[in-house]
Structure 1
Amino acid sequence: MTTLSRKFFVSATTALAAVALVACSPNEIDSELKVPTATGVSLPSKNVSATSTATTDEDAPGYIDCVAAPTQQPAEISLNCAMDIDRLTDISWSEWDTDSATGTGTRIVTAANGQETETEDIEVKLSFPTESSQGLVFTQVTVDGQVLFL
């Protein structure tokens, strides 16, 4: 066996032994405290913005804003999940049913220098309801006719 092969074998054996020791630790104590998971989150029946005129069917899809729990008729939607630099606020929903949701709001975009630009009466449409681990949710966002990939 060459020196390189021997070093690799020793390293691999040591790593496997460490994993086995950690996985089989005799000092582990089962806890009564359980951590809730995403499967434990249920779809809220409504989270209606103050200015919405749409009625919502309980079976209508919700919307997951980045990583939040699904809601129906959110007052605000983030349009950039990586950075908080583009969002719709004060959304007024005129329609929210099993196929799509339509509303208008104010778009706030933050430039690199921190200056915010607000544009009112921006149209937003949510569509393509898809079954998720948290229930039925809209998966496509269209803003002023342009599909966004969040």
Structure 2
Amino acid sequence: MGRNPMRAAITCCAAAALAVAMGTSYAAPSAQHTATDRAAHSRQTQDPVLIDCASQPRVRPEAFVLACGDGNSRLVSVHWLRWDANAAVGRGTNAVNDCDPYCAAGTFRSYPVTVRLDQPRASEADPGERHYTRVTLTYTDGRPDGFPRTVSYPLSG
């Protein structure tokens, strides 16, 4: 440690403390800075969200349960082509339980669909958040027995 081991040890400790302080100032932004970033991000991302069965906001989900009560209808493998302030449009598959002979013993059948989300509204719980309130499915190749080619459902939120 040279001729003055005490001075070398103090210098080494001071350098280490300075390096740690500088490292954490870059790695962990202040709480105020983080809150400001979140507020700016919130203003920048004003596109509506889709509220799932657990009341969680989702953006461009690949899967979504349509029948929250029993899970007998869901969207899977959804690829979103558009997601903006007015509507969201995607393509995917509607997996529907045929409930034959009854739902617990039924078989899920898959039908290709075009999905449209629209009619966005402000959230009652968080007025700064908007969510889509209607989903429209257009069956593109086959459809469940008794279903029209296009069907719309209200979305909760």
Instruction: Calculate the TM-score normalised by the size of structure 2.
Output: 0.55
Instruction: Tell me the equivalent position of 1:130.
Output: 121
Instruction: Tell me the equivalent position of 2:107.
Output: 115
Distance 1:149 1:138, change over 3 A: closer
| Bigger-Rg structure (1/2) | 2
Where structure 1 has 5 or more consecutive residues not aligned to the other structure, the ranges are 1-41, 46-56
Aligned sequence identity (%): 28
> Across the two proteins, how many residue pairs are aligned to each other?
95
**Of residues 36, 39, 53 in structure 2, which corresponds to 1:66?**
53
Opposite residue 56 of structure 2, the aligned amino acid is: A
Residue 146, structure 1, aligned to residue 151, structure 2: yes
**Of residues 103, 110, 124 in structure 1, which corresponds to 2:90?**
103
Q: Secondary structure at the match of 1:60?
A: coil
State whether residues 89 and 114 of structure 2, in contact with CA within 8 Å, keep that contact through their aligned partners in structure 1. Answer: yes
Two-structure CA RMSD over aligned residues (Å): 1.9
Runs of at least 4 residues off by over 3 Å: none
Instruction: Tell me the equivalent position of 2:62.
Output: 75
Note the C-alpha offset of 1:114.
2.8
Opposite residue 94 of structure 1, the aligned amino acid is: L
